[in-house]
Chains A and B, each alone.
Chain A
Amino acid sequence: MSRKKLLSNLSILSIAAATFLFVGNTPALAQQGSERSQFVRNLRLGDRGLDVKALQIILNSDTETRIAPSGSGSPGQETDYFGQLTLQAVIRFQNLHKKDIFAKAGISGATGFVGTATRSVLEEKNTAVSAIGAAPVTPPSTAPAATRTSQTNSVFSPLSLAGAPRITAAVKQKVFLYRALPAQVAPKGTVTLSGSGFDATENTVHFAGTAIPNLPSADGKTINVPLPGDLALQKHEVWVENKNGTTKGSPSPIRFLVTNTPVDPPKIIAVNPSLVSIHEDTIVITGTGFAPAGNNFYTSLGTAMNLSSSDGKTISLKLNSLSNLEKVKNPDLRGITISLWMSIQNENGTQIDPFPVPVTL
């Protein structure tokens, strides 16, 4: 090993050691740190990094500061590059928060430079944005998560997705909506909205030009919405508004379909073979509600889109069509079984809780 390489490896190790010794022995500081922002540097035009991507995610959480409506930089397609679109979005952000930024930064107009003052406001907004979706489930065992035995010892097996997620993040909550169930409902039926940041008594639910005020949420995570009988038989986008904010304009619109003939969403029941090798060519997925075409699978390792089912009960999926499959192959992990989480979406709706497929590496 060359002297240069040895030194670089030693520097990596020293960072690692310092990190762990610091984290392990100063809980108060670590806890304090966990509530701070990831913006540890100023950001400007031309910068690259995941903090730039985080900046874009925060800017995209507000329609007024969205980087772009579609394509690169748009919600879900954030990049690590601080380009002109990001610059313009930061300027809009600074103008929106001029009272908090201009005087503190000593500027009279927006500059697009993300300095201390802008970072401070971003931190507040970041805290609100990040409060969404923190959903603890049944705590996993702290025992070793996998073994090299033939026994199925799933990476994710200790996790239970049963029950409504709950929010525990000790940060300011922003109202967040992630599903409406059932996805298909008859007129005069009831839709249950799931999310977080719901008020105990005063939530206004909007859909189809209608606003139903003062809907309660006993747990802060679900709202039952009774539907009027005169709703048009079509899909309706729904959003929630309360003192915490609104879900209107979310990059992930939530909708339900009003129909006289509602059907259940697709559901995966089993996979053949029951224990899949990562080197398997094709697996057969069995379930209900599969469409003749247009079945889309969302998995831990990538998506498989527009698959067909001739009988409505089975679908063949080529494992190597999952874009990240090759990246988890590692000779050092041979024999370990992981869970490949899988949800199906088609014209009948979406399987909300993913199905774990055991895969042996």
Chain B
Amino acid sequence: MRTFFSNLAIVGASLLVIASVIFSPIKKAEAASGLAFGGLVSFVTICTCSAAEAIWFTPLWLGNVPVTGYMVYQPATTFLYPGYMIGVPGAWHLGTYTPAVQACYMTVPDACIVLPSYGVIQSTGTSVPGIE
């Protein structure tokens, strides 16, 4: 139970930070360059056709209501901050993303199909899972 409340505290405090960034005048001016997101990694799917990884977050915070779904980690366009645990299940991520960009393609026989996501991660910092 303590773990639950401590995690809740982390999420709450983190969201305050997110909100302060999102709703600051500076951030509004930069809206075109990326939107804020935060979430907990559930699992990762390799984009076998497009050299990327789709990371599923549960929950995923894009606004004031938690959702769940994929964000795509694209090695050359995603900038990493400490602790470099991108895509590791159990790691919290906070960062920015480019919405409406589909960058994950999966190999099927004779073709590739798109795996829809919220967008491509621009930059992210992560927690280190397992720290107690």
List residues of chain A with CB under 8 Å of any chain B CB.
Answer: 1, 4-6, 8-9, 11-13, 15-25, 27, 30-31, 33-38, 40-41, 49-51, 53-54, 57-58, 61, 75-78, 123, 126-127, 129-140, 142-148, 155-156, 158-159, 161, 165, 168-169, 171, 176, 178-180, 183, 235, 251-256, 296, 298, 300, 324, 327-328, 330, 332-333, 336, 338-339, 341, 343, 345, 349-354, 356, 361
- Report the Cα distance A159→B101, complex, angstroms: 9
Known: A51-B84, A171-B77. A8 touches B116 (CB 8 A): no
- Report the Cα distance A339→B17, complex, angstroms: 29
- Contact in complex: A76, B46 (CB < 8 Å): yes
Other than the known A324-B42, A338-B68, A354-B113, what 14 A-B pairs have Cβ atoms closer than 8 Å?
A5-B2, A9-B10, A12-B92, A23-B96, A34-B79, A134-B101, A142-B63, A144-B63, A324-B43, A327-B58, A338-B69, A343-B113, A350-B111, A351-B113
A-side interface mostly: mixed
Residue of B45, B47, B51, B125 with highest tally of chain A CB at under 10 A: B51
The proximity string for B residues 103-131 relative to A, scoring 1 for CB distances below 8 Å and 0 otherwise, is 11111111111111010101111111001
The proximity string for B residues 86-103 relative to A, scoring 1 for CB distances below 8 Å and 0 otherwise, is 111000101110011111
- Contact in complex: B6, A1 (CB < 8 Å): yes
Residues of chain B within 8 A of A33, CB atoms compared: 79, 123
- Contact in complex: B51, A178 (CB < 8 Å): no
Residues of chain B within 8 A of A9, CB atoms compared: 6, 9-10
Q: How large is the interface on B (under 10, 10 to 19, 20 to 34, 35 or more residues)?
A: 35 or more
Residues of chain A within 8 A of B118, CB atoms compared: 140, 145, 155-156
- Report the Cα distance A36→B94, complex, angstroms: 19
- Contact in complex: B76, A133 (CB < 8 Å): no
- Report the Cα distance A252→B116, complex, angstroms: 19
Residues of chain A within 8 A of B33, CB atoms compared: 27, 30-31
Q: Closest 6 CB pairs between A and B? A: A133-B50, A19-B125, A130-B76, A33-B79, A24-B21, A76-B48
When A and B form their complex, what is the total count of cross-chain residue pairs whose Cβ atoms lie within 8 Å? 296
Residues of chain A within 8 A of B35, CB atoms compared: 142
A selection of 30 A-B contacts at a CB cut-off of 8 Å is A1-B2, A6-B6, A8-B132, A13-B13, A16-B14, A16-B125, A23-B123, A25-B21, A27-B33, A30-B33, A30-B123, A36-B79, A38-B79, A51-B84, A54-B75, A57-B75, A77-B46, A129-B75, A130-B51, A133-B50, A134-B102, A140-B100, A145-B65, A156-B69, A178-B111, A255-B110, A328-B68, A339-B116, A353-B113, A361-B68
- Report the Cα distance A140→B67, complex, angstroms: 15
- Contact in complex: A159, B116 (CB < 8 Å): yes
Choose from B47, B59, B84, B120 the contact partner of A330 (Cβ within 8 Å). B59
- Report the Cα distance A41→B48, complex, angstroms: 25
Known: A132-B50, A161-B116. A15 touches B125 (CB 8 A): yes
- Contact in complex: B6, A5 (CB < 8 Å): yes
Known: A76-B107, A126-B75, A345-B109. A30 touches B34 (CB 8 A): yes
Known: A38-B78, A38-B80. A328 touches B56 (CB 8 A): yes
Give the nearest-CB partner of A131 in chain B. Answer: B76
- Report the Cα distance A122→B45, complex, angstroms: 23
* A222 smallest CB distance to B (angstroms): 14
Choose from A5, A144, A179 the contact partner of B132 (Cβ within 8 Å). A5
The proximity string for B residues 19-33 relative to A, scoring 1 for CB distances below 8 Å and 0 otherwise, is 001001011001001
Give the nearest-CB partner of B121 in chain A. Answer: A34
